[in-house]
């Protein structure tokens, strides 16, 4: 599905963010990318859809090498990659629905986009997705009237509107409170599994990565230093990724508090989050 080979990124100021990273994702799984700030997590994700231009290396998605594409071909390729951002990056002054439908911009013509006249199938699946992410009925709300967690749900719906072959998720929870973070992270994982879409998720919260992802890769100063199952994250591995620190409190031995949280979510009427958690 996705094959990254020897990816190098050197910024114009000479800083080398990635020193030849190779990653292969060949099944629909959620891959958490961990590492300290500046380790190259964001650069890695952004190189895949070339929001950041890679210096050398190959990125092959479903048989196409993305690094070799021209602007028009890149736009075609980007339509197949949904991206979710830390700061949600919604168009604040537009409605929720317009933001979700903007996921189809790669497919509709300029004039239809101008008239907000999207195909019937797109509109129906936008409504469906909004319901799925827990925002049913909020389609006419302006994005700047939503809370952080709700905005991120819109961001998720926008990315899934593209019916992507790959989800690129850049620090989805870094701007959210701990509880919302978990709900959002579980929602992303549930949707990725439901749709059989592989997802690359940058994440700071090691415990959350461990409890939700199918696979974890660790970056340190632009090098891949870990690639394995969440259960393989030992204090030694974390020291390798982040440097010396007492890790005993960080590593989760058991998902003991989850039942309690699921109950709380149901009590609040967030049946969907419980569902997301179940899936």
Q: Is 254 in the site for another protein (CB under 8 A)?
A: no
Contacts 24+ apart (CB under 8 A), 47-51: 47/7, 47/9, 47/18, 48/2, 48/4, 48/81, 48/166, 48/168, 48/200, 49/77, 49/78, 49/81, 49/83, 49/168, 50/74, 50/78, 51/83
Q: Is 247 in the site for another protein (CB under 8 A)?
A: no
For another protein, give the closer residue by CB, 122 or 214. 122
Query: CA–CA distance from 276 to each of 95, 133, 247, 270 (Å)?
Result: 25, 9, 29, 10
Supply the minimum distance, in Å, between the C-beta of residue 83 and another protein: 4
Q: Is 12 in the site for another protein (CB under 8 A)?
A: no
Q: What are phi and psi of 252, to 5 degrees?
A: -90, 125
Q: Is 197 in the site for another protein (CB under 8 A)?
A: no
Residue 145 and residue 10: Cα distance in Å, rounded?
A: 39
Reported as half-sphere exposure (CB side, CA atoms, 13 A), residue 23 has a value of 32
For residue 136 the two structure tokens come to 């049913």
Q: Is 106 in the site for another protein (CB under 8 A)?
A: yes
Supply the minimum distance, in Å, between the C-beta of residue 244 and another protein: 34
16, 79, 193, 220: which one contacts another protein (CB under 8 A)?
A: 79
Q: How many residues appear in the chain?
A: 279
- Count, residues near another protein per rule CB under 8 A: 48
105, 207, 251, 264: which one contacts another protein (CB under 8 A)?
A: 105
Query: What residues from 140 to 179 belong to the interface with another protein (CB under 8 A)?
Result: 140, 155, 158, 162, 168
Q: Is 70 in the site for another protein (CB under 8 A)?
A: no
* List of residues 6+ apart from 113 with CB closer than 8 A: 105
Q: Candidates 6-14, 20-28, 111-119, 227-235: pick the segment binding another protein (CB under 8 A).
A: 111-119
Supply the minimum distance, in Å, between the C-beta of residue 58 and another protein: 20
Q: Where are the alpha helices (DSSP H) in 50-168?
A: 71-78, 96-101, 110-115, 120-132, 148-161
For residue 264 the two structure tokens come to 């709380």
Query: What residues from 81 to 100 belong to the interface with another protein (CB under 8 A)?
Result: 81-83, 85, 87, 89-95, 97-98
Supply the minimum distance, in Å, between the C-beta of residue 131 and another protein: 8
62, 68, 124, 255: which one contacts another protein (CB under 8 A)?
A: 124
Q: Is 127 in the site for another protein (CB under 8 A)?
A: yes
For another protein, give the closer residue by CB, 93 or 253. 93
Q: Are strands 64-65 and 81-84 parallel, antiparallel or unpaired?
A: unpaired
Place of tokens 């895949």: 48
3-state class (DSSP) for residue 30 = strand
Residues of this chain that interact with another protein (CB under 8 A) are: 49, 51, 75-83, 85, 87, 89-95, 97-98, 101-106, 110, 113-114, 116, 118, 120-121, 123-128, 131, 139-140, 155, 158, 162, 168
């Amino acid at each position: 599905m996705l094959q990254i080979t020897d990816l190098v990124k050197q910024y114009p100021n000479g800083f080398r963010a990635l020193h030849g990273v190779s990653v292969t994702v060949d099944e629909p799984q959620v891959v958490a990318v961990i590492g300290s700030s500046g380790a190259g997590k964001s650069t890695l994700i952004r190189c895949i859809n070339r929001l950041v231009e890679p210096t050398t290396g190959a990125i092959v998605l479903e048989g196409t090498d993305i690094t070799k594409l021209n602007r028009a071909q890149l736009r075609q390729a980007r339509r197949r990659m949904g991206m979710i951002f830390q700061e949600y990056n919604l168009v604040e002054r537009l409605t929720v629905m317009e933001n979700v439908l903007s996921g189809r911009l790669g497919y509709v013509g300029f004039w239809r986009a101008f008239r907000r006249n999207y195909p019937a199938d797109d509109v129906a699946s936008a409504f469906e997705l909004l319901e799925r992410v827990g925002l049913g009925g909020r389609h006419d709300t302006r994005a700047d009237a939503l809370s952080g967690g709700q905005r991120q749900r819109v961001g998720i719906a926008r990315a899934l509107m593209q019916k992507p072959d790959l989800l690129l998720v850049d620090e989805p929870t870094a701007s959210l409170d701990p509880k919302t973070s978990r709900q959002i992270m579980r929602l992303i994982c549930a949707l990725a599994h439901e749709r059989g879409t592989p997802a690359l998720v940058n994440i700071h919260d090691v415990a959350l990565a461990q409890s939700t992802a199918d696979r974890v890769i660790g970056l340190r100063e632009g090098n891949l230093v870990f690639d394995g199952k969440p259960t393989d994250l030992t204090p030694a591995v974390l020291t390798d990724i982040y440097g010396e620190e007492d890790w005993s409190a960080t590593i989760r031995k058991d998902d003991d508090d989850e039942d309690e949280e699921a109950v709380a979510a149901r009590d609040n009427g967030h049946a969907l989050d419980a569902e997301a958690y179940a899936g």
